[in-house]
Chains A and B, each alone.
Chain A
Amino acid sequence: MSGAAQQVITGRYLCHIGDVADGIARGFAVSGLRPKVIVVRKNGHLHAYLDACPHYTGGTPMAWKSDAYLNGAGTHLACHSHGALFELATGECVLGPCLGQSLTKIDVTITATGEVFAAI
């Protein structure tokens, strides 16, 4: 992360890092993009994925209600269509209908002041 005051950010604003506490996931709408972007923080690492389960062509939203993206134990992202589980760090499906497929990973940049931008 660069602390330079003149840092040039490319991408779309998602959230402030303070919006996503460690161990939780949240979905953020991005103007002009149909799926939300899921941002999840675990052990200090931030990961972002399209809210689009690969089980269906074109993807389908995964939460059961707003921001409810994790399984009960909080160890995986879950698709609440059919219970598929995805690794937090890689987006790989480890259980369920889309076994072996992965969520679409979104690269993020975090500014010195904590704003999270998506490379989309």
Chain B
Amino acid sequence: MNIIGPDYLIFGVDDLPASIEYLTAFGLKPVGVDATGGLFEALDGTGIIVRAKGDPSLPAPLKTANMLRQQVYGVASPADLDAIEAELSKDRRVTRLADGSLETADDQGFALKFQTTKRRALMMPAEKINAPGAPAQRAPNEIGVWEDMPAAPRSLSHVVLFVPDIAKAADFYCNRLQFVITDTLVGAGPFLRPKANDDHHTLFFIRTPDYMQGCEHLAFHMGGPTELMVAGTRLVKSGVQSFWGPGRHKFGSNWFWYFNSPLGCHFEYDADMDKHDDTWTPREAPMGPEASQIVLFEMREKWAPGGPPPGAGKGPKPE
């Protein structure tokens, strides 16, 4: 079962115009979007599909107020769809659609779809850095940053779910769909990667009460920490509310910056995540500020030391 990761996340939202404004500001490209919503894609074609919550084309909502309607997983080939159908049909209904894709649900009622992946191969350099002792990554006269540098989300990275039963969730994804646990934040939950993806995680669970089940956040990969901070700064300047970051996580080593959204969950830019293979030994750490980040910053308005001398412009000093 060569599951690669999420191709699309589908939402049924309370405020469609606000969501369209948000997804555009986030840097995703609308593809065939009209007044009923549509797909907002990253550079590799993965992305977010958004519709009004009453749209009849949407899968049924969760029992909670969360707006996530379906997770669409990309797989490597039609043979992988056959393998998933054979496995999951043992104990649940799996619907084969006309295009060969599969629809079903996990053990806790999250709607799932599996399709031969729609993602496009990207051929782009990562952020380049220069450091003493290492070969320069940027050639002489090649500058690192400029005001209008591109900083677009490259690929849908991961989804984080609020789940009532961590053991049941981990069992389903690991034992039925061949995901692997890479690390665990004890008190929150495990990080998972699917077999055909070496990213530290495409999926993370956070234990919550039944009434919170849903999507906590989703993340898009950026080209590096500079792109992440440039994109985040532009987003905040447009008025969007920062939630957490920028900073860098310990598990996964990825840079992060989270923002509020009108889709009922956080949106994250991430960058420079660890890669793993099957020789990796999973780690555990208790959930908390120390375990979750190596550094955390908070954005402030641009400022520079200097400026006029003290007292300048205030007129003569009183005697």
Q: Do A and B bind each other?
A: yes
Residues B239 and A66 in contact, CB atoms below 8 Å apart: yes
Q: Is B188 an interface residue (CB 8 A)?
A: no
Q: Is A83 an interface residue (CB 8 A)?
A: yes
Residues B15 and A71 in contact, CB atoms below 8 Å apart: yes
Stretch at the interface among A14-22, A56-64, A103-111, A112-120: A56-64
Q: Is B240 an interface residue (CB 8 A)?
A: yes
In the complex, A72→B240 CA distance in Å?
17
Distance between A115 CB and nearest chain B CB, rounded to angstroms: 26
Residues B14 and A65 in contact, CB atoms below 8 Å apart: no
Q: How many residues of B contact A (CB 8 A)?
A: 26
Q: How many residues of A contact B (CB 8 A)?
A: 21
Q: Which of B214, B238, B261 contacts A80 (CB 8 A)?
A: B261
In the complex, A64→B22 CA distance in Å?
9
In the complex, A99→B211 CA distance in Å?
9
Q: Which of chain A's residues have a CB closer than 8 A to the CB of B291? A: none
Q: Is B18 an interface residue (CB 8 A)?
A: yes
Q: Is A88 an interface residue (CB 8 A)?
A: no
Give chain B interface residues in 227-258, CB to chain A under 8 Å: 238-241, 243
Q: Which of B13, B212, B238, B259 contacts A97 (CB 8 A)?
A: B212
Q: Is B266 an interface residue (CB 8 A)?
A: yes
Residues B65 and A60 in contact, CB atoms below 8 Å apart: no
Residues A68 and B262 in contact, CB atoms below 8 Å apart: yes
Distance between A118 CB and nearest chain B CB, rounded to angstroms: 21
Q: Is A85 an interface residue (CB 8 A)?
A: yes
In the complex, A64→B240 CA distance in Å?
6
What is A's interface to B at a CB cutoff of 8 Å?
60-66, 68, 71-73, 78, 80-83, 85, 95-97, 99
Nearest first, the 7 A-B pairs at minimum CB distance are A72-B15, A83-B264, A65-B239, A80-B260, A66-B239, A72-B14, A64-B260
What is B's interface to A at a CB cutoff of 8 Å?
13-16, 18, 22, 65-67, 208, 211-212, 214, 216, 238-241, 243, 259-262, 264-266
Given contacts A72-B16, A83-B264, 6 further A-B contacts (CB under 8 A): A64-B261, A64-B262, A65-B22, A65-B239, A72-B18, A80-B264
